[in-house]
Amino acid sequence: MSFETTFSYLLGGVFLASAILVVTRRNPVIAALYLVLNLFTLAGLYLTLHAQFIAVIQVLVYAGAIMVLFLFVIMLLNLGDEQRLKERLSLKKLIAVGLSVGLLLQLIYIVGYLDVTLPEGKLSQGVEIGTVEYIGKKLFTEFLFPFEVTGIILLVAIVGAVILAKKRLD
């Protein structure tokens, strides 16, 4: 097994383990820190897929901006007494977990056993399509209109967040 393969399996394992830890930890701060680990391993997985631009954006936007926002809100709300938020094991939750695992089995069946014939391709050929130059060119020519709309979405989100978090809602 080559170094790259070993590395990507390691990243995959950490990705899955940290995802499970995010969902199971009771303390939101610890869950947020595991989510940071999860996002970093995902950036590593993007690198193994030769998507450098997406990997950098992943670290900048998620680990840099969104997680800081999460941690700020957790600490702003000062969720001291976690006893009140004790998660009870109920039949509803067991059914939810059962349905989700059923969905996972279906997905595994689709990916693994159904033998869907993917068109010819290779995972290693994308070395030049993941660069900032290539994606930038595509983004500012072919996908210019969606790119502009993205700016409007972000503006609306900023205005909405400010209005929602304001002290008085009148």
Partner 1 sequence: MSVETYLLLSAAGFIVGTIGVLTRRNAIIVFMAIELMLNSVNLSLVTFSAYLGDATGQILVFFVMCVAAAEAAVGLAIVIALFRNKQTVNLDEINILKW
Closest among 135, 137, 146 to 46, alpha carbons compared: 135
The sign of the dihedral angle between the CA atoms of 126, 128, 131, 137 is negative
Task: Report how far residue 26's alpha carbon sits from residue 136's, in angstroms, rounded to the nearest whole number.
Answer: 41
Min dist CB 53 to partner 1, Å, is 7
Min dist CB 23 to partner 1, Å, is 4
Is residue 18 within 8 Å of residue 35, measured between CB atoms?
yes
Min dist CB 118 to partner 1, Å, is 7
Min dist CB 123 to partner 1, Å, is 6
Task: Report how far residue 11's alpha carbon sits from residue 58's, in angstroms, rounded to the nearest whole number.
Answer: 15
Task: Report how far residue 138's alpha carbon sits from residue 52's, in angstroms, rounded to the nearest whole number.
Answer: 15
